[in-house]
Chains A and B, each alone.
Chain A
């Protein structure tokens, strides 16, 4: 590991990591609402939000799968230094996965948990260019009063992939991160095509 690739992470390791964790909790508790994150220095090619999520959620007990686009020496060196997380090659053994938009069309391999331990599923951290500008869909379920319009810029195939792996209580929880904000999509959220689009 080359040491000159290392960069500083959180300013205050304990408090900043708790702030990001709190934002991640809120994101899953209120699916579809954009949660702002504290400013963190970006780590090419990671956006500030996805890097902050990694710093807050990963440690020596969480195995991480990296999408090829993020598998750079800089990312590996800094995650190894600041988080100490093992990086795995197989999707099956990952507890967390860092994805780009191009990986969303194929979610095969990620562990969706077991009937006894659905919480052991793999959590997907998805880095997007923006959290809006996509096709508007109507989200409903726990944490949403009525319905919520969310327009994530993700391919349509992603929603089929997610539905195919959503066998409650098993399923995949996702975080969508762009720039300095975050949207959570837990497995319990139901997705319907937006009313406007149907009409």
Chain B
């Protein structure tokens, strides 16, 4: 995988998890000439998984996905696939993806991606801490030593 792809995967992931927080940047993101190549549309996708990371993949279930593709005035295209049914979120995420591929990438990384990523990291850490506090140690289950 090239570094460009890894970088783009990271920002697309941050944008997809951003949800309502992306609305804060709406005016800035929409301040350009753009058209919808694929208007936001809601569909289903099949989530597949492997038990324990190995073995044959099984169908876990279907989830709702909203996707969108925009095209800026200079021909750059931005894509987004976000979980849920929020069309506005999908459009803003696609716009941000298009902006991030341009010359102002550093600006957008600092203005949009970095704050969103830190919010998400903090939320994740809080959730992990809450989960860790409920950990149970099973001492009585050790058997057969003597």
A residues contacting B by CB (< 8 A) are 3-4, 6-9, 13, 81-82
**B interface, how many residues as a size bin?**
10 to 19
**Dominant secondary structure of chain A at its interface with chain B:** helix
Q: Which residue of A lies closest to B76 (CB)?
A: A4
22 A-B pairs with C-beta separation under 8 A: A3-B76, A3-B77, A4-B75, A4-B76, A4-B77, A6-B37, A6-B69, A6-B71, A6-B77, A7-B37, A7-B71, A8-B35, A8-B36, A8-B37, A8-B71, A9-B37, A13-B39, A13-B41, A81-B37, A81-B38, A81-B69, A82-B38
Main secondary structure of the interface of B (DSSP, over half): strand
Tell me the residues in window 25-76 of chain B with beta carbons closer than 8 Å to chain A beta carbons: 35-39, 41, 69, 71, 75-76
- Give Cα A6 to B34, complex, Å: 13
| Residues of chain A within 8 A of B76, CB atoms compared | 3-4
Q: Give the chain A neighbours of B71 by CB distance below 8 A.
A: 6-8
> Within the complex, what minimum Cβ distance (angstroms) separates B133 from chain A?
47
Question: Nearest 10 CB-CB pairs, A to B?
Answer: A4-B75, A3-B77, A6-B37, A8-B37, A8-B35, A6-B77, A6-B71, A8-B36, A4-B77, A7-B37
Shortest C-beta distance, B142 to chain A (Å), equals 56
Known: A8-B35, A8-B36, A82-B38. 17 other contacts (CB 8 A): A3-B76, A3-B77, A4-B75, A4-B76, A4-B77, A6-B37, A6-B69, A6-B71, A7-B37, A7-B71, A8-B37, A8-B71, A13-B39, A13-B41, A81-B37, A81-B38, A81-B69
Q: Name A7's closest neighbour in chain B (CB-CB).
A: B37
